[in-house]
């Protein structure tokens, strides 16, 4: 299931991010690829220890922590600090899967990757190619979003980034450990929560049917959440 989070960053915030990244010290992204992924990865990244990367990453984390739809869709317990990458001149990332466990030694943190997230920072008409292609149950789904929008997708899925043949594709990527590891259960909870949110404004504050739906939601979450 792909979930689009629109306008995580405003147009002004995107412009500020791109201005900050214009003179960034990009490095070969192969250094962070696994032993098999390194053969299909051709991009540039900012090192996690880079001061600019850390500052912008913290800004994204603050946004995510305050975004109701992201919290509903992810049920996030841990979030890997966003990593910034750049694709240009044919840069691409062939079909691969994300590591199930990701370790951040400097923070003493280990994350089980339940969800992957890509936040687009380049406008789609500023580059050719560069689609994120996620293989789902019903076939491959290409994703190319407006700057400031984010897509969430299961980390268990095979995915790739198509070659960028014109311009630059700049994104921030992250991984999330959810309180509910099972993708199907998490999707059901998200659908139920979205329905509750849609129905609530037209009902009285103490509407018994809304209260019953909230009761069902939390009991399902209680059943499926992992301690």
- Binding-site residue positions for 2-oxoglutarate: 169
**Nearest 10 degrees: CA dihedral of 227, 185, 5, 75?**
-10
DSSP codes of every residue in 97-148? ---SEEEEGGGTEEEE--EEEEEE-S-GGGSEE--EEEEETTEEEEE---TT
Binding residue ranges for Fe cation: 96, 98, 159
Binding residue ranges: 96, 98, 159, 169
What SS3 class is residue 176? strand
How many angstroms separate the CA atoms of 127 and 143, rounded?
14
């Amino acid at each position: 299931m792909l979930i689009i989070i629109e306008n995580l960053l405003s147009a002004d915030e995107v412009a500020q991010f791109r201005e900050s990244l214009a003179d960034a010290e990009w490095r070969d992204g192969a250094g962070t690829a696994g032993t098999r992924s390194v053969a299909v990865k051709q991009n540039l990244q900012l090192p996690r220890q880079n001061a600019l990367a850390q500052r912008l990453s913290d800004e994204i984390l603050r946004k995510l922590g305050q975004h109701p739809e992201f919290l509903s869709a992810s049920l996030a317990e841990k979030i890997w600090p966003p990593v910034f990458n750049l694709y240009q001149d044919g840069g691409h990332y062939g079909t691969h899967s994300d590591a199930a466990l990701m370790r951040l030694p400097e923070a003493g943190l280990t994350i089980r990757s339940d969800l992957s997230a890509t936040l687009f920072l380049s406008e789609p008409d500023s580059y050719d190619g560069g689609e994120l292609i996620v293989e789902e149950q019903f076939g491959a789904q290409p994703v190319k979003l407006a700057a400031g929008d984010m897509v969430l997708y299961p980390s268990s899925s095979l995915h790739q980034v198509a070659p960028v043949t014109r311009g630059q594709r700049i994104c921030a990527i992250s991984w999330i450990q959810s309180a509910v590891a099972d993708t199907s259960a998490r999707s059901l909870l998200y659908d139920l929560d979205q329905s509750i949110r849609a129905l609530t404004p037209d009902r009285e504050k103490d509407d018994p049917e809304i209260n019953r739906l909230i009761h069902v939601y939390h009991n399902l979450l209680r059943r499926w959440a992992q301690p």
